[in-house]
A and B are shown apart, each in its own frame.
Chain A
Amino acid sequence: MATYSTNEFKSGLKIILDGDPHTILENEFVKPGKGQAFNRVKVRNLKTNRVLDRTFKSGDTVEAADVIDTEMQYLYNDGEFWHFMMPDTFEQHAAPKAVVGDAARWLKEQDMCQITLYNGEPLAVSPPNFVELRIIQTDPGVRGDTAAGGTKPAKLETGAMVKVPLFIEEGEVLRIDTRTGEYVSRVKT
C-alpha cells in the first residue's frame, strides 16, 4: 500500500480519506515554536466533489489514492454504459451514468476525452474543452440578421440544447465551449 507523509502534501496530491479518493486543494503547515506540528488541508472528494477541511498531525502518513488521468476515445453508449478505449493499448473501459454525469451531453463517438481512473475503474469523465457538434433541430435561420443580439434554442446531435444566434441553420456544425455550455462559432464543413 503506497502512502504519503504529510511532508509530501501539496495541492493536486491524491489521497484516501474515509475510504474515498480525495485530491488536496490546499495545504498549510502550522506549528507553535514549542509544540506539536499540524497540517491543515482542504480536500475535495473525487466521488462527491464535496470539499472539506482536515487536520493531520505532521509526520503522519495517509494512504495514496491510485488515481490517474488518461486520454481515451469515446466509442458508444449501449443504453446503460458509456464505452471508452485507450488509443495505444485498445483496452476498453465502461462507465455508468453516475460517473459520466453531465459530460454525456458533449460526448460524440470517436472524440477524445479525459477519463480519471481510480483503481483502474473510471471515476470521472471530462469532455474536451471545445467540441464540434452538428445541429439536428432548430427554427429556420433569419437571413441578414448577423448583428442583432437575439438567440434561439438548437438541439445538437448528442441531444444537448444550446442557445445559438438567429442566423444559424439546421445541419450546421458548431463549436461549443463545454465548460460554459455556450456556442462559440460556426465550423465550416
Chain B
Amino acid sequence: MRADWRPTVSVGILQLRARMLSRVRAFFAARGVMEVETPALSQAATIDPNLASFTVPTAEGERYLHTSPEFPMKRLLAAGSGDIYQICKAFRADEMGRHHNPEFSLLEWYRVGYDHIALMDEVEALLDEVFADARALGSIARFTYREALMRYAGLDILTATAETCRACASAHGIEVRDELGLQQWLELLMSQVVMPACAEGFTFIYDYPPEQAALARIRPGNPPLAERFELLGYGLELANGFHELADVQEQRARFERELGIRRERDLPTVPVDERLLAALEHGLPDCSGVALGLDRLVMLAADVDDIAQAMAFSWCGA
C-alpha cells in the first residue's frame, strides 16, 4: 500500500488553521466587511509578467485560473458593494518551493476610503486577533522601502545602479550569473537580503519605487512613490497591499507596458481584462486592498518551515 495518501499536515495544525479561519471571519463580521466569492476561472488573466496563469481548455475557448481575485473584486467595488473580503484558492504556475505551492489560499480584502497606511493599521489589528493564541506580536516595525534597503542592505535606492546592486549582492554571498535590470536587482536584494534580515517578528515595508507600483497609485513628489506595502513575518513575505489605482488611462498604460515586457521575454500574451477597465471607467471608489497568504500565516502560527506542513495536501500529494 502506498504511504503518500496521508496529509502533509498534522491534525493539530489543521485544527489551528480552522481556528484561524474562523477568527478571520469573526474579525470582518465585527467590522461590517462583507464576505464575497468571485470566479476562479476567468476569460482574462493577470498581465503581470512575473506571474504565470494556469490555462484550462473549455468549450468556449481557453480560460485562466486566477492568480488573485483582485479584478472581479474591484468590479464589485465599482458596482457599489462597499467593504468586502474573500477567502479563496489562488493559482500560480511554476511557483513551487518551501514557501510556495502553485495552489494556495489567499485572504483578500478592500476598504473604501482607506489609504495604504490606514489599511496597514487594520492588517496589524487582524494579526493581533488571529495570532491570539500562537505568538505574542508586539508592535510591528514600519520602514519605507528606501529605509529598509538602506538599513539592511546598505544601499540607497536613489543612487543605486545594476553595478552597485551586483556588488551588494556579492557582499551578501549572492552570485548571479545573469545580467539583471535595476528593478530585478532590487527585487532580489529585497527578497534575499532585506527580508531575511527582518527575521524577528513582523515588519511593514511601504512606499515603493514607482517601477514596482503594480496596481498601486503613485503619489506625486520628488521622488514619486507607489502607495504600496508589504507585510513580512519572521522574514517571510505575507501580504501585499495597495492604495488602489483608480485611473483607467493609467491602468491601461500599465497593462500595455507589461504586455510589452511579456513580448520581450517571450512569455504568453494574455487577454487584458476589459471588464475591469470598464469598471474603472465607471468609477472605483477611493479604496485600499490587500492580499494575505493564509498558508504562510498558518506556517508562522504553527512554527513550521515548509508550506506543505500548513495545508492538508501539498502540490505533490494533490
Chain A residues in the interface with B (C-beta under 8 A): 7, 17, 28-38, 40, 52-60
Contact = CB atoms under 8 A, between A and B. Distances in A.
Interface in B195-218: 212, 214
B118 interface: no
B192 interface: yes
24 contacts: A28-B97, A30-B192, A31-B191, A32-B237, A33-B237, A33-B240, A34-B50, A34-B214, A35-B184, A35-B187, A36-B184, A37-B94, A38-B176, A38-B188, A40-B192, A52-B175, A53-B174, A54-B175, A55-B169, A55-B175, A55-B176, A55-B188, A57-B184, A58-B94
A57 B98 CA distance: 17
B173 interface: yes
Most buried by A among B48, B96, B99, B188: B188
Nearest to A18: B177
Interface string B293-316: 100000000000000000000000
B190 interface: yes
Contacts, number: 78
Nearest to B291: A33
B178 interface: yes
Contacts of B188: 36, 38, 55
Contact of A57 (B169, B175, B178): B178
Contacts of B190: 32, 35
B180 interface: yes
B95 interface: yes
A29 B240 contact: no
A57 B178 CA distance: 7
A37 B237 CA distance: 13
Nearest to A39: B97
A29 B99 CA distance: 8
Interface in B67-86: none
Given A57-B180, A58-B94, A32 B174 contact: no
Nearest to A17: B177
Contacts of B96: 29
Contact of B97 (A30, A35, A53): A30
Nearest to B188: A38
B100 interface: yes
Contacts of B174: 40, 53, 55
